[in-house]
Structure 1
Amino acid sequence: MRDRPARVDDVHAIAASMPHVKRIEGPKGNPIYQVGGKSFVYFRTPQRDAEDPETGERYTDVIMIWVESESDKLALTQDPKAPFFTTHKFDGHPSVLIRASRLSEIGRAELTELIQDAWLSQASRRRADTWLAEHQR
């Protein structure tokens, strides 16, 4: 099966497909996916820390995805051409940001792995171990 560019619908489908997931709405109706009460995918509302450097307009399409470690975060954000980024607000926070408008720069397979890893980083040890055993990762 050939990979294809990732889309916003994929974010929702992959996150919702993980076990024990609850989708909640943020204060402005933004989707948040949680496992055991812990967020692992969060559609952000426009914030001052993520804006177009040329126009100053706040990005309206930022998705925050948790990562396992700072080294995972650096691996995704260190290439300035990569669609992943972070801001000073998230220094020390185990997450990366990506604009929905840039999702197509990664494949659905990479997005799937990223969201599965985000889920694993927030799920309880028992849930994570069960999922890993079933998926032989």
Structure 2
Amino acid sequence: MASWEDVRRIALSLPETGERPSYDALPAWTVRNKSFVWERPLRRGDLDALGPAAPDGPILGVRVADLGVKEALLADDPARYLATPHLDGHPIVLVPLDRIDVDELTELIVEAWYARAPKRLAAAHRAETAPPAT
């Protein structure tokens, strides 16, 4: 099970990432002022839409590369990745932190960062972290 400290540690390990309050004064992590992950509690409309399947506990909002990635995540593991009508048309998934392990969380956050980072910054980071050629 992942925690907010895991989210913070992973997000802040990425280049040019900062933490600031979101619209609801909850933590959000940004790269060059573009949010890529944030705390996103379920709202009344979300709870109504999800019904009895609505998780309780901390929820992470995650920006993904595009709607195709969103649909793939939702289809792959609907217990782990959620969306609500409010997010229709937006490349965003919701993730209950108690349903994801730290390794998968790391992959998700890094990919969210790549989706929002400027192309040159993302390319430089990929080059720095690529395994050595054999």
Q: What is the TM-score when the length of structure 1 is the normalising length?
A: 0.81
Q: 1:34 aligns to what?
A: 30
Residue 53 (str. 1) matches residue 51 (str. 2): yes
Q: 1:25 aligns to what?
A: 21
CA distance in 1 between counterparts of 2:73 and 2:53 reads 25
8 Å Cα contact 1:76-1:82 kept in structure 2: no
8 Å Cα contact 2:81-2:93 kept in structure 1: yes
Equivalent of 2:89, from 84, 89, 92?
A: 92
Q: Structure 2 regions of 5+ residues with no counterpart? A: none
Q: 2:111 aligns to what?
A: 117
CA 1:54–1:13 in structure 2 vs 1: closer, same or farther (change >3 Å)?
Answer: same
For residue 60 of structure 1, report the CA deviation from its aligned partner. 6.1
For 1:61, the aligned partner's letter is P
Residue 129 (str. 1) matches residue 123 (str. 2): yes
For residue 80 of structure 1, report the CA deviation from its aligned partner. 5.8
The DSSP-based 3-state class of the residue aligned with 1:50 is helix
CA distance in 2 between counterparts of 1:80 and 1:119 reads 21
Q: 2:62 aligns to what?
A: 65
- Residue identity (%): 33
Give the alignment's Cα RMSD to 1 decimal: 2.4
CA 1:37–1:11 in structure 2 vs 1: closer, same or farther (change >3 Å)?
Answer: same
8 Å Cα contact 2:70-2:92 kept in structure 1: yes
Structure 1 or 2: more helix by fraction = 2
For residue 42 of structure 1, report the CA deviation from its aligned partner. 1.2
For 2:51, the aligned partner's letter is P
Q: How many residues align?
A: 129
Residue 74 (str. 1) matches residue 71 (str. 2): yes
8 Å Cα contact 1:20-1:36 kept in structure 2: yes
8 Å Cα contact 1:67-1:94 kept in structure 2: yes
CA distance in 1 between counterparts of 2:53 and 2:127 reads 48
Q: Structure 1 regions of 5+ residues with no counterpart? A: none
Q: What is the TM-score when the length of structure 2 is the normalising length?
A: 0.82
